[in-house]
Amino acid sequence: MKPEAVSPLLVRKYNQPVPRYTSYPTVPYWQEGINVDAWKDVFRETFHQENHTQGISLYIHLPFCESLCTYCGCNKKITTNHSVEEEYLLAIAKEWKLYRKLMQQTPVIRELHLGGGTPTFFSPRNLQRLLDSILRDSIVHPQHAFSIEGHPNNTTPAHLKVLFEAGFRRISYGVQDLDPEVQRVINRVQPFERVQEATEAARDAGFTSVNFDLIYGLPLQTLESIENTIGAVIKLRPDRIAFYSYAHVPWTSRSQRLFDESHLPSPEEKILLYLKGKELLIAAGYEDIGMDHFALPGDELARARAEGRLHRNFMGYTTQDTGLLLGLGVSSISDAGGAYAQNAKTLHDYYADINKGVLSVKKGYFLNEEDRVFRKYILDIACRGAARFRSDDAALLRQYSFPLLQPLSEDGLLLWNEQGLQLTGPGYQFLRNVCAAFDLHLLRGAASGNGTGRFSKAI
């Protein structure tokens, strides 16, 4: 089955800067220097509500990489000096103890994700130390989901053995693209054979879910190169594939300034890259989960979507919705339902705070009732492609959202009335634009002249 065609006119019309909606309100609307004591209160209350029912989610940011991938917008530290592992592990252990004091009971860990950076930069021994420091005084939920981001070039059987024994069953490899010229220009050279070896090693170690991250819209990519990359990837049959749009944000990611922008595909070319990739993935038996994610029918992500259990947070789409996500490490983000908190973005500031025995929370946001309601609309659209409207919200919806839904409807992207909306097939290609119709912070900012320039374009 081929994806439904998307008009180049619609691509040009809707290729505007909009958020990716891993949170609402989105990070640019958070406040610097939030009240840390107030954050502690919200965290403590949410923890006690969630711990014995759902359990909690835990994200640990491991920022180090040995080389710079020039497309990357993540918080990272480039070094080949592995002695940095020791100081960072000590800081994570200290931060965890600070949160453990707030918990006042044994945490039940439902979800654990190691992200980066390159988590497999750390030696197997140090990864084991990290996990032991977290898990030895925790309860692992019987339905836990533990995952890690790995680099095909440095993930070893020893890494995989340590992770498997700690309960990890899913690994996500950053493949991005398999064309040698594209790999050269983004400074991420990893031959197909190495990706194949890493994939087979994970399965041999007992991992039941292997994810590949791919990117479309990179410099020098063509329809032919995308077709070759997807064709090679399909041979390895990863359980999930995240097929991300390259976010060109050189104003925040200095490494992207190294690109010759004439080598980037146009918006019209970029959507064709995506549609070709999607066509090949669907033909190979993958299901479109939404917002750049695909999964085999038997994968838990596909089952969660079919059963209406899909959730979205800072880690992307997930099957877990615990109500509390705690982020540890530099730049990590926590979500306590009623509040967000982000750690210091530099190692210097993060270490300084943690070594003083205080949380390194520098930025965040406390949600009001309006935020909670419109966050649910955005999550429902992102995870289920539909939303039901509350009559209590009619005035705000008529003022901000409905005027934007009408042109989206006229362009065939959704069906709607004052009771709710449902995306059409083509509408899924513009999911971020539909979500933006419910982003009151974005819409009020645009009306006041404080607009969307801080976000990447939708396509």
Please check if 87 is assigned to a binding site: no
69 is an annotated ligand-binding site residue: yes
73 is in an annotated binding site: yes
Known binding residue 118? Answer is yes
71 is in an annotated binding site: yes
Please enumerate in sequence order all residues whose Cβ is within 8 A of that of 302, keeping only pairs 6 or more positions apart, or say none.
287, 289, 295, 296
- Is 298 part of any known ligand binding site? no
Q: Is 78 within any annotated ligand binding site?
A: no
Residue 383, annotated as binding a ligand? no
Q: Environment class of residue 252 by beta-carbon count within 10 Å: exposed (0-12), middle (13-18) or buried (19+)? A: exposed
Q: Is 247 annotated as a binding residue?
A: yes
C-alpha span between 7 and 328 (Å, rounded): 43
Please tell me whether 425 is known to bind a ligand.
no
Both structure tokens of 180: 């040698």
In a 13 Å sphere around the CA of 179, the CA atoms on its Cβ side amount to 20
The two tokens of residue 218 are 């990179």
- Is 378 labeled as ligand-binding? no
Say whether 72 counts as a known binding-site residue. yes
The answer to whether the annotation marks 213 as part of a ligand binding site is yes
> Which is it for the CA torsion 318, 322, 327, 333, positive or negative?
positive
Tell the burial category of 312 from Cβ atoms under 10 Å away from its Cβ (0-12, 13-18, 19+). Answer: buried
Which residues are annotated as part of the binding site? 59, 65, 69, 71-73, 116-118, 149, 176, 188, 213, 247, 333
Which residues are annotated as part of the binding site for S-adenosyl-L-methionine? 59, 71-73, 116-118, 149, 176, 188, 213, 247, 333
Which residues are annotated as part of the binding site for [4Fe-4S] cluster? 65, 69, 72
